[in-house]
Chain A
Amino acid sequence: MADYIFEANHISKTFGKGGQRVVAVDDISLRIPRGKTLGVLGESGSGKSTLGRCILRLIEPDSGEIRFNGEIISGITHRRFRPYRRNMQMIFQNPFSSLNPKMSVGSAIEDPMRIWGIGDKESRRKRVKELMDIVGIHPRFAYAFPYEFSGGQQQRINIARALALDPKFIVCDEAVSALDVSIQAQIVNLLMDLQKELDLTYLFISHNLGVVEYLSDEVLIMRNGKLVECSTAEDIFLNPKDEYTRNLINSVPSMPTAEQLLAKISR
């Protein structure tokens, strides 16, 4: 087995032509060790979501090579790519719009297994219940519809669906950004627990520095499609090399201390 479950080398993607040309991803390389999390941080328009989509081939990159478990998965036909697909899943930002409003959540979680022809109806139902249990939704809600759940519960259901095919690698694109503060921590902890239990590897795309620091082993900073720096989370947040990274970290409002607030009042 390769050391890195996922590798992408020199990925580029350009949209539009002539004066309208936008280089969304400009020669980005990354690799993620098995069972670890690579956080991708960037402001809006930095190309972080395009990068996430390119490496799953949801958007075809213009150039670059992608390897899964050491095997090249870029430039091959979709028919040959398909067996790899089930090992890579994605969790999106908006938990409600990523679920079909007309489908019960149980069927939504079962859907990937049905498409792949895994098991029979009964065994799939059983697996749906297991998955719901894993993500902390009581299996008796399998027949309920997405609108009946809160945002945090909907995101748990999306996670259950992403896990249905036993993937090895999951791209989380702003997976907690639409959630309330008290729910964000629940979902982040759930993702981290699942990683340990199921030996998952994550690419975690976010603009939220606190969340990325909390759950990432390594962090890649992007700006205008280009790589700014990539290192271990400790390195990036405690010892940032680049001016842009430093500015980003300093802009995050931190919880003021009582002493700081006292000083402000007496001023």
Chain B
Amino acid sequence: MSNPALLILASLADGDKHGYAMMVDIRGFAGVDLGPGTLYGAITRLEERGLVRPMASDDRRRPYRLTAAGRAHLKDALAALEPIVRVGTRRLRRA
């Protein structure tokens, strides 16, 4: 899976993170190296859609938080993926 937006939402699901923390987390759980441009492009769109919001920070490393809409979106996206994963896995076992 390489959808940067979905990876960011999944990363923020267990707490607020700034850009670098997201990058490290995503590399850890998905094995995907998101480039800085890709990461911030996705953050920009997610913030515009109200799925994440920036937290107050004195540092340049501003953390982001998943909004209620973002949580619902992530839940829907994962639910849509679930049957694909289930069926695909079952068919691979048969083959």
Tell me if chain B binds chain A. Answer: no
Query: Could you tell me which A residues sit within 8 Å of B by CB distance?
Result: none
